[in-house]
Amino acid sequence: MAERRIVESLVKERSAWPHEHVSLVLLVIDGVGDVRHPDFGMRTPLEAAQTPNLDELAPRSALGRVMPVDYGITPGSGPAHLGLFGYDPREVEIGRGVLEALGLDMDLKTGDVAARANFCTISGGLVVDRRAGRPATQVSAEKCKLLQQELGRIEDVEVIVQPGKGHRFAVLFRGPGLAEGVSDTDPHENGQPLHEAISLRPEAEKTARIVGEFQRRAEEVLSGHEPLNGILMRGIAERPSLPGMQERFGLRAATIATYPMYRGLAKLAGMELLQTGPRVADEFRCYAESKDDYDYHYIHVKATDEAAEDGDFDRKVSAIEEVDRHLPIIVEKMPDALAITGDHSTPCCMKLHSWHPVPLLLHSPRCDAGGQRRFTEHECSEGSLGIFLAMHLMSLLMANAGLLDKFGA
């Protein structure tokens, strides 16, 4: 908390910035970090990938590794991104349902409770596929419409179902007496039974009852619709109040992301949501076209994490190579400071988020380049930035763009 206040107090007045249009870029390659494992030839996807553009940039940049939350802590995407945005994720907690709902532009009001939900496949009382075979978005949207028609009200609570991407959707509960503090129904692993929604504090007892009834009745509605015959809910929460990028750092900030949850995170941090196409090239071109309209761009690439969660090493390599192929679109616009990293590591051998530090490349004219040859986990471990908590990246990014004053006399 003290470090954050110091950084905010050092931000220069706009009139003292190096030039009129300053551009900071945070490129998050989701789940990019990995570990060497014998099943994959004792090399990571970053080491296996052909990345000529990253290889050209790495020797002229400062490399390091970031801990999303703290040593040994495996982060969810929410706290991992909060750290990258300069918040202390150990102090700020945001339910994933809030992020999903905001990212889908749902009208989340005070007193509402939102949940992030997945369609899943249930057999013999067990969750056999938490992602229901990764159905097409349109297929899930049809099932969301069915749930909305059949389950639009439970007791005196309005239920609003909004489809997301693929197997994901959001559920918003609106009515009197609701509060956050309900456990997930998602067991977080295949082969396990659904969990019961349990109130974790007295004021959430009604919410737990409504969530549990929605869960039970949704299974009845979806019966016979295999593989989308069940739902999982997690991150059941209310909307918090956070100071945004403009308030904290004086930055006009924008996000370029295709998945609702990451758009929701950015919205909570006070960023404007830009419209972009589904491909990496679309996202990077969106930055190039809007560079002079904003001081800070957060760009999110999802495909690396999806591949890693499926344990698909080759697909993760291909996703990294796609980022590299289009990277010149960003680099040629010459941002004042460019950070390339991930929100967390997702090793292919684990098929899950992990606690391993995430590789980081920081490029600017002031970056103190270390001369490392490539952007990989082990090259980054030898970089001049060392290993540090992700919440300090924001101050490094701003310092490298010349936006922070001297501390003290």
Domain range for 217 is 99-237
Q: How many helices (H) and strands (E) does the chain have?
A: 15, 14
Does 345 lie in the same domain as 312? yes
Mean pLDDT of 107-127: 92
Q: Are residues 113 and 231 in the same domain?
A: yes
Same domain, 6 and 151: no
| Claim to verify: residue 320 and residue 384 sit in the same structural domain | yes
Q: Which of 237, 265, 286 is the last residue of a domain?
A: 237
Range with the poorest average pLDDT among 170-184, 206-220, 253-267, 335-349: 253-267
Q: Domain count for the chain, please give it.
A: 2
Here the CATH number for the domain that contains residue 32 is 3.40.720.10
- Domain match, 86 and 205 both: no
Please indicate, yes or no, whether residues 222 and 103 belong to a single structural domain of this protein: yes
Q: Are residues 249 and 318 in the same domain?
A: yes
Query: Do 395 and 250 sit in the same domain of this protein?
Result: yes
| Boundary residue ending a domain (192, 221, 237) | 237
- Residue 366 covered by a domain: yes
Summarize pLDDT for 339-366 with one digit per residue, the tens: 999 999 999 999 999 999 999 999 999 9
27 & 112 share domain: no
pLDDT band at 99 (very low <50, low <70, confident <90, very high): confident
Q: Mean pLDDT of all residues in the chain?
A: 94
* Sequence-separated (6 or more) residues with CB below 8 Å from residue 19: none
The verdict on 20 and 69 lying in the same domain is yes
The last residue of a domain, from among 188, 213, 237: 237
The mean per-residue pLDDT over the stretch 85-114 comes to: 86
Residue-wise DSSP of 25-77: EEEEETTBB----GGGTT--HHHHS--HHHHHHGGGSEEEEEESSSTTPPPPH
Q: Within a domain: residue 406? A: no
- Report how far Cα 400 is from the mean position of its chain's Cα atoms: 24
405, part of any domain: no
Please indicate, yes or no, if residue 342 is contained in any of the structural domains.
Answer: yes
Instruction: Give the pLDDT confidence score for residue 4 in this predicted structure.
Output: 62
Which phi and psi (to 5°) does residue 245 adopt?
Answer: -60, -40
Q: Is the per-residue pLDDT at 1 higher than 60?
A: no
Residue pLDDT, tens place only, 37-53 = 999 999 999 999 999 99
